[in-house]
Amino acid sequence: MLGIQNLRWISSRQTNRGALALISGFGLCLAIATQAVALEYKRVEPLLQTGETIIGQTFVYPQDSPAEVTAVIVTLLPGEETGWHVHEVPLFGYMLEGELTVDYGADGKKTYKAGDSLMEALDHPHNGVNTGAGVMRVLTVFMSSENGVKTKPVEPPAD
């Protein structure tokens, strides 16, 4: 660590002014980062940490082209449904409002309410229905590649 004596010596030397600026800047950044980290942990509310989808599948990120994250809010009125579909890429969902019941065919149905979070099924047909009395909104975050298909319509599974 540099002492005050050394900093004074550096600042008095014309050729070392850049070093002083670098050291001062680093110290300021370190102080700000330390405070930011301390504040950040006071405000963190974990939503989800998993390596599996909602039906127990492990997942990996697509590697066929540069990575891309897409976030959308899906809104359904009471009784509306998504239609049967699959996701070819990992999808994180966070229920903002209302109630959504998703039919996973042979893997059963799951109901999600405001505040719930999930990693959606991957390459597995499912259909979501707003089973609540009001509007349903879900924040949907796709972790794909820039050319990746995020959602693809499919036929309902045979019973």
Give the pLDDT of residue 20.
40
Give the pLDDT of residue 72.
95
Residue with the larger pLDDT of the pair 146 and 1: 146
Q: Which residues, in sequence order, are CB contacts of 66 under 8 Å at separation 6+?
A: 145, 146
| Whether the predicted pLDDT of 19 surpasses 90 | no
pTM (two decimals)? 0.70
- Of 63, 111, 112, 106, the C-alpha closest to 88 is 63
Q: How is 68-131 classified by DSSP, letter by letter?
A: EEEEEEEEE-TT-B--SEE-SS-EEEEEEESEEEEE-GGG-EEEEETT-EEE--SS--BEEEE-
Alpha-carbon distance of 150 to 84, in angstroms, equals 14
24 phi/psi in degrees, rounded to 5:
-65, -45
Give the pLDDT of residue 130.
98
Give the pLDDT of residue 109.
97
Model confidence pLDDT, tens digit, residues 83-133: 999 998 999 999 999 999 999 999 999 999 999 999 999 999 999 999 999
> Can you name the CATH fold of 67-153?
Jelly Rolls (2.60.120)
- Residue intervals of the chain classified under CATH 2.60.120.10 are 67-153
